[in-house]
Amino acid sequence: GVAVLDGHLEPVSTAVPEPLAPWFDRAFVWESIGLHADRLTLGLGDGRVWRQDRVRELGTPVLAGDVPIAATIGHLVDAGDSVLTVTSGTSIPYGSGRPETHPPEAHPRENTLWALDPTTLETLWTWRGSERLHGLTVGPRWIVVGVSPADADPERHGLLVFDRQRSGTGAERLAASCATGAPVFWRAGLAPDGRIAVVSFPEKRGEDVVGVYRVSLFL
């Protein structure tokens, strides 16, 4: 569960979501805790956006034939005017008891950036491309999402930058694509003036390890 503490580190409230049976026997929270005023929103490993009074199912399990597939939520930010979150690539729920190691098809809501209404959790806008999405950094104006290629093209590693001040669809809010040529760490640094810093690291390609540890700065 998750505990909310006051300025003196005294408990104010707790949240313990029930597991999503029969696929999961626990509700897992990673970097997906959104806290704004007295509003607590959680992104769960089973694909739910969760509050005490409402739940939005984004990447929750669906059946591909007779195989359950899901898209987890590992990153969520309550930005005040919206709740921002990212669904992962497709996986098979660990509690399903299926022997398959690879999902037979993609979850319909995988690898998507979501902006949700902060009150109702209804969709405001989304973005989905061909890239795998991971990580989420949010500032007063910019939203930064880490990406990696769905194919073997190393030039498609990097960041996508979205402008919160623009209106329209996710595609209309996409402001920049920043290539790193190597996998990026899921948490970027975002300065008030819009500069973005991100760490990239080596990866294995075939029998070789390619790349170096590097910090890239984008203006």
Average pLDDT per 10 consecutive residues for the chain, totaling 219 residues: 90 92 90 93 96 95 92 96 96 74 90 97 96 93 91 79 96 94 89 92 82 88
Query: What digits encode the pLDDT tens for the residues 115-155?
Result: 999 999 999 999 999 889 989 999 999 999 999 987 767 67
- pLDDT at site 60: 96
Those residues with Cβ within 8 angstroms of residue 150's Cβ, 6 or more apart along the chain or in another chain: 130, 131, 132
* Contact (Cβ atoms closer than 8 angstroms) between residue 166 and residue 175: yes
Output b/e per residue, 154-172; b: 16+ Cβ within 10 A: bebbbbbbbebeeeeebee
The C-alpha atoms of residue 196 and residue 178 are separated, in whole angstroms, by: 10
- pLDDT at site 212: 82
Query: Nearest 10 degrees: CA dihedral of 187, 191, 195, 198?
Result: -20
* Contact (Cβ atoms closer than 8 angstroms) between residue 126 and residue 116: no
- pLDDT at site 33: 96
- The 10 Å Cβ neighbour count of residue 150 is 14
Q: How far is CA 27 from CA 1, 45, 67, 188, in A?
A: 8, 7, 21, 26
Whether omega for the bond prior to residue 22 falls within 30 degrees of 0, making it cis, is yes
Query: Nearest 10 degrees: CA dihedral of 30, 148, 96, 33?
Result: 20
Those residues with Cβ within 8 angstroms of residue 189's Cβ, 6 or more apart along the chain or in another chain: 137, 196, 197, 198
Show me where the domains of the chain are located: 1-128, 129-219
- pLDDT at site 100: 64
Contacts 24+ apart (CB under 8 A), 131-134: 131/156, 131/160, 132/89, 133/86, 133/87, 133/88, 134/74, 134/75, 134/86, 134/88, 134/186
- pLDDT at site 211: 78
CA angle 58, 62, 65 (to 5 degrees): 155
- pLDDT at site 208: 81
